A and B are shown apart, each in its own frame.
Chain A
Amino acid sequence: MTETLADPAKVAVVSPRKRRRARRLPLWVPAGVVVAMVTAAYTAPLPHDPRVPGAAPLAPPDGEHWMGTDKFGLDVFSRLVASAGVDIPLALSGMLISLVIGVLLGLVALHRGPWGERVVRALDVFQAFPLLILAIALVALMGNNIENVVAAIAIINIPRFVRLVRSEGLTIRESRYIEAAHAIGASGPRVMFRHVLPNMTGIILAQASLAVAHSIVVIASLSFLGIGINAADASWGAMIQTGAQNMTTGQWWVSVFPGLAIFLTVLCFNAISDALQDSFGRARQR
C-alpha cells in the first residue's frame, strides 16, 4: 500500500453517522423480540410441563421434543420458554432499582463541594472488585434467594448510572439554558429535575438497556453456579449447567439452546441501546 494521496471519498470523513444509522436495526425489532419472549413465557401453551420429567433422558431434538430433553428427561424447549419469564423480569427489576438509586446518587455527585467528589471516590473503590464475584458474594452472604439476586444486580449496576449522570451533568450544567433557568430564579432541585435530567434521558435509557444485557449474563452466571434461583425453577444459566457435562459426551442440545437464548436476549438489549442512543443523538443534534 503506497498510495501517495488518499482519495478523500475513501477516508470517509463526511457523514459516517448517516451510514451507520442506516445499518442499525430500528428500535421496534429488538424490543419486539424481547416483548414476544416475555409474553410467550407467561401466556403461550407449552408442549410439556417444564418442571415434570416425563420423557427419556437426553433424547435428541425431534418432532415431540423440539429441542430434545435433558438428563432428567425435562423438555428443553418448554424450560427455555419458561425461563424467559424468570431471567428477563429479574434483570429488568434489578436494573430499575439501580437506575433510580444511581441517577439520584449521580445528581448528588453533581453537587458542587466535597460530597460530589466523595461519592465518585467511594465508587472507585467499589468498582475495584470483579463485579461477578461481588454479586456472588452478596447473594451467598445475604441468603440464597431471588430477592437477593435482584438486590445484587441492583447494587453492581448502580455505579454505571452514577458515573453517567455525573459526567453528562457536568457538561449540561455549563449550557446556556441552565444559566437561564438559574437566572429566572429556579431552585436547585427544580433545575436538576426539570432541566438537567430531561436532557440526559436518552443516554440514561441507552445505558439502562446495556445494564439489562449485562444483568442477564450475571443472572445466568449466578444460576449456572447454582446460586440464587431455585434449580427446579427454569432459568437459562441453570439449564446450561444441567447440560455442561453432556457437552463433553456429545449431547449438545441441553446447553446450546439456552445459551443461544441468552445470546439472543443480550443482542436484543444491546441493539435497543444502540437504537436509543441513535434516535436521541439525532434529536439532540437537530
Chain B
Amino acid sequence: MRVFGYARRRMFFLPLGLLSVIVLAFLLVNALPGNPAGVIAGPAASPAELAGIERRLGLDKPLWERFTDYVGALVRGDFGSSYYTDRPILSEILRFAPATLELVVLSLTIAAVLGVGLGVLGAYYKGRSADRTSRLVVTTFQSIPDFFLALLLIYLCFYLAGWAPAPVGRLGLMDEPPPTVTGALLIDALISGDMRTFRSAVAHSLLPVLTLGIYYSAYFARSTYASLVPALESKQVEFARACGLSERTVLAYAFRQARTPILTYGGILLAALLGGAAIIETIFSWGGFGEWAIDSILQLDIPAVQGFILAAGVGTLLVFTALDILVAVLDPRVRYD
C-alpha cells in the first residue's frame, strides 16, 4: 500500500507543476525580448495601430496586472479567444486534440512493437550479425529527419506504388466524415458502423502513423537494448538457464527487468508527441493539435500560442505523473521518497 501513499504525494505536486506551466506560458509571450504587437502590426504600422493591438492583447498594462488577469481568467475556464478568428481557445483545443491523440497513440504502438522487437533482437544476439543489422537499422531510423521520411514514404507508397492515398488529410476529399462522437475518426466511423469511411480513415492514417512509428521506434530500440543487455547477463538469467528453462521463458524473465525503462520512454515520447508531431501533421494535412499550433505560431496568434503551451504543458505533466505512479506500481525497486 506504499504505492498509494506515493501516488498521493506525487499528485500533491500537480498544482505546483501546473503553476509553473502557467507561469511559463505567460512569460514566453509576455517577457520575451521583442514586442509581439510590433511583429503582428508589421514595420509599416502607425503608433496608433500599434497601441490598438497592444490594448487588444492587454500588453499596455503592467506585467503583474497582466499575470493576475491571466490567472483569473484561467480559473474561470476562460483561455481567451483567437486573435484572428475570435473562437474560444479552449474549444479549439478540444476540437483538434482527438485527431492528434489518435495519431500519437497509433504511432507509438507501432514504434513500441517495432522498436522493442529490434532491441530484443540486437540484445539477444549481441555481437552477432543480427545485432549489427539491428544496430544499422536503428541508426538509420534515428538519423532520418521525420519530415523527410514522411516525404520519402509519400513518394514511394503513394506516387510509385499507389498503396497509400494522397496526403490530403484524415479522409479522402470525397469521403463523408462520420458524426462526431469522440472526435477520433477511426472510433467514430466504427460507432456509426460506416465501414467504407473506416477503411478510408485507416488508409489515410497509414503513412503518417508509419512515419512516426519508424522514426520513434529508434528510441524504443535503444532503450530496450540498453536495459536488456545487462538483464541478459545477470545472475538470475544465468540461473534460469541453469534450471533448464526454455530460452523463451529466460527471455521473458530478462524482459521483466527491461520493461520499466521502456515504459518510461513510452511516456516521455507520448508527452513529446502531443506537440512534436506537428510537422508530420502539417505534411499530411492532418488537422490536429500540432498543426493548429504551428499555424497559430506563424500567424503570431498570441492567445492561441499561449493556450497551446498551456495545454501541451498540462498534458505532459499529467502523462509524467501517471508514468511515475505506473512505474512505482510495476517496479518494486523504486524508492518512494
Contact = CB atoms under 8 A, between A and B. Distances in A.
Given A4-B244, A141-B34, A244-B151, 9 more contacts: A125-B17, A125-B313, A128-B17, A130-B278, A133-B293, A141-B39, A221-B147, A252-B155, A262-B145
A2 B300 CA distance: 63
Interface residues of B, number: 62
B95 interface: no
Interface in A106-151: 122, 125-126, 128-133, 136-138, 140-143
Contacts of A131: 272, 276
Nearest to A213: B143
Interface in B256-314: 271-276, 278-279, 282-283, 290, 293-294, 297-298, 300, 305, 308-309, 312-313
Contacts of B10: none
Contacts of B242: 5
B269 to A, nearest CB: 11
Contact of A143 (B34, B139, B148, B316): B34
Nearest to A6: B241
B159 A132 contact: no
B21 interface: yes
Contact of B317 (A20, A128, A225): A128
A8 to B, nearest CB: 10
Interface residues of A, number: 53
B232 interface: yes
Interface in A224-275: 224-227, 240, 243-244, 247-250, 252, 255-256, 259, 262-263, 266-267, 270
Interface stretch (A9-17, A78-86, A97-105): A9-17
Contacts of A255: 148, 151
Contact of B154 (A11, A221, A248, A270): A248
Interface of A: 1-6, 11-13, 16, 19-20, 23, 122, 125-126, 128-133, 136-138, 140-143, 213, 217, 220-221, 224-227, 240, 243-244, 247-250, 252, 255-256, 259, 262-263, 266-267, 270
**10 smallest beta-carbon distances between A and B, as pairs:** A130-B275, A259-B148, A1-B247, A128-B316, A130-B276, A266-B143, A125-B20, A133-B275, A247-B155, A6-B241
Given A132-B278, A133-B276, A224-B279, A126 B24 contact: yes
A128 B276 CA distance: 12
Contact of B39 (A5, A143, A259): A143
A136 B166 CA distance: 27
A12 B130 CA distance: 14
Interface of B: 17, 20-21, 24, 28-29, 32-34, 36, 39, 126-127, 132, 139, 142-145, 147-148, 151-152, 154-155, 158-159, 166-167, 229, 232-233, 241-242, 244, 246-248, 271-276, 278-279, 282-283, 290, 293-294, 297-298, 300, 305, 308-309, 312-313, 316-317, 320
B28 A263 contact: no
Contact of B232 (A11, A142, A225, A248): A11
A263 B144 contact: yes
Contacts of B126: 12, 16
Contacts of A224: 147, 279
